[in-house]
């Protein structure tokens, strides 16, 4: 999940622990266009203070106005949790600033010991996936281990949601560029592992929240078993390390595989992967190289930004290349 939503959970728990009457709002479902996706969170305090968001602002304003007018006691009216829909018709959608045809369903629950936010936050420190089920009529919450990420769902009186990092990122190389890239990727909610067997880099690496491993890149990729929620980025400029990781990553379902380097070096890399490691054209077509969107980046922070922008575009199903373009660029670069 987005780390911003983790922050909402922390804030809701902190407010409640400090004695403030607090509600937690979850986007349970959307139809048509909507400002925020299912699973987005907002916390609202009895005095109208909020953290997070569930829309572009108008729904937040309506909830705050309701709290000011009736208080949380009036809002809940004796219920521990309830569901409400916005944008059922065109007039309502227009009033709350929803896109044409947009409708969203919210679940609003009163925060207290039974909400089990402290236990949830503690479990999330282990970086695993935690399943949370809320029974709306009773307010009963159960927590358990989730085997895989699943979207939030409201089925009758039961709201289910998986919390924790949905996407994984493996970075090859523990250099300066990797540090900038990982710091931002943490904010995007990725579970990040950095692989670097070189002592001179690994010993000086320190980015809190990122796992460091010292194995050979191909072994690390194989052990990680990349799936369609995994990205692999090679940043060492050393073919002995980068090529090993790319070889295995391109054979996996990883949604984004990339490597830095000039166009000429990337063209040579493609040839090595094809001639020495037996990769097919279809597998090489998946390699993003040079990594990143072109934004005129020169410094490590700018390069990290360009790579993450391309990775997020791939995660969201936005492609900047046409099939076969990468191979054509390689041929042009080799001929230059």
pLDDT of residue 263: 92
Residue 28 shares a structural domain with residue 85:
yes
* C-alpha to C-alpha distance for 231 and 172, rounded to whole angstroms: 11
Q: Do residue 313 and residue 327 come from a single domain?
A: yes
Same structural domain, 233 and 112: no
Among residues 186, 193, 173, which one has the least CA distance to residue 291?
Answer: 173
Residues 185-216: pLDDT tens digits?
998 889 899 999 999 998 888 899 899 999 99
Of the three residues 111, 137, 163, the one that is the final residue of a domain is 163
Which positions ≥6 away from 136 have C-beta within 8 Å? 79, 80, 81, 82, 83, 107, 109, 157, 158, 159
Phi-psi region of 150 (alpha: psi -120 to 50; beta: other; left: phi over 0): beta
Both 173 and 313 in one domain: the answer is yes
Q: What is the pLDDT of residue 37?
A: 85
Residues ≥6 apart with Cβ < 8 Å to 95:
58
Count Cβ atoms below 10 Å from residue 306 Cβ, excluding itself.
Answer: 18
CA distances from 262 to 102, 237, 265 (A): 44, 10, 5
User: Same domain, yes or no, for 292 and 185?
Assistant: yes
Q: What is the reported pLDDT for 128?
A: 73
State the burial class of residue 113 (Cβ atoms within 10 Å of its Cβ: 0-12, 13-18, 19+). Answer: exposed
User: Do 15 and 99 belong together in one domain?
Assistant: yes
Q: What is the pLDDT of residue 98?
A: 57
What are the tokens at 299? 């410094």
| CATH number of the domain residue 283 falls in | 3.40.50.720
The confidence score (pLDDT) of residue 332 equals: 52
Domain boundary among 112, 140, 163: 163
The interaxial angle of helices 300-315 and 176-187, nearest 10 deg, is: 40
The residue ranges of the chain whose pLDDT is under 50 are 321-327, 330, 333-334
Provide the pLDDT for residue 92. Answer: 59
Q: Are residues 88 and 195 in the same domain?
A: no
Domain shared by 317 and 177, yes or no = yes
At residue 327, the pLDDT reads 44
Q: Which of 106, 139, 163 is the last residue of a domain?
A: 163
Q: How many domains does the chain have?
A: 2
* Pair 85, 62: CB distance under 8 Å: no
- Comparing CA positions, the residue from 187, 174, 331 lying closest to residue 268 is 331
My answer on whether 63 and 11 are in the same domain is: yes
Check whether residue 179 and residue 149 sit in a common domain: no
Note the pLDDT of residue 16. Answer: 96
**Does 103 share its domain with 220?**
no
Domain around 319: 168-335
Q: Answer yes or no: do 46 and 155 share one domain.
A: yes
């Amino acid at each position: 999940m987005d780390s911003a939503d983790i922050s909402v959970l922390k804030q809701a728990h902190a407010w409640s622990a400090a004695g403030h009457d607090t509600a937690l709002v979850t986007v349970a479902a959307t139809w048509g266009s909507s400002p925020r996706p299912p699973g987005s969170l907002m916390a609202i305090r009895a005095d109208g203070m909020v953290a997070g968001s569930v829309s572009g602002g108008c729904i937040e304003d309506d909830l705050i106005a309701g709290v000011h007018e009736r208080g949380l006691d009036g809002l809940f009216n004796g219920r521990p949790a309830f569901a409400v829909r916005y944008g059922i018709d065109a007039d309502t959608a227009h009033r709350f600033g929803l896109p044409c045809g947009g409708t969203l369903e919210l679940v609003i629950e009163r925060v207290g010991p039974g909400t089990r936010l402290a236990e949830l936050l503690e479990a999330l420190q282990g970086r695993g996936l935690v399943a949370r089920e809320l029974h709306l009529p009773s307010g009963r919450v159960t927590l358990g281990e989730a085997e895989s990420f699943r979207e939030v769902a409201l089925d009758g009186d039961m709201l289910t949601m998986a919390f924790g990092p949905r996407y994984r990122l493996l970075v090859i190389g523990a250099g300066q560029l990797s540090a900038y890239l990982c710091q931002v990727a943490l904010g995007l909610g990725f579970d990040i592992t950095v692989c670097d067997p070189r002592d001179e880099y690994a010993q000086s690496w320190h980015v809190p929240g990122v796992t460091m491993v010292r194995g050979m890149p191909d072994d690390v990729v194989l052990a990680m078993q990349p799936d369609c929620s995994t990205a692999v980025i090679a940043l060492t400029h050393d073919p002995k390390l980068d090529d090993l990781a790319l070889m295995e990553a391109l054979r996996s379902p990883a949604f984004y595989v990339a490597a830095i380097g000039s166009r000429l070096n990337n063209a040579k890399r493609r040839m090595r992967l094809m001639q020495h490691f037996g990769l097919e054209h279809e597998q090489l077509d998946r390699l993003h190289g040079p990594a990143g969107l072109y934004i005129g980046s020169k410094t490590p922070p700018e390069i990290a930004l360009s790579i993450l922008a391309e990775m997020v575009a791939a995660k969201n199903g936005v492609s900047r290349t046409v099939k076969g373009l990468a191979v054509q660029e390689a041929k042009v670069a080799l001929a230059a």
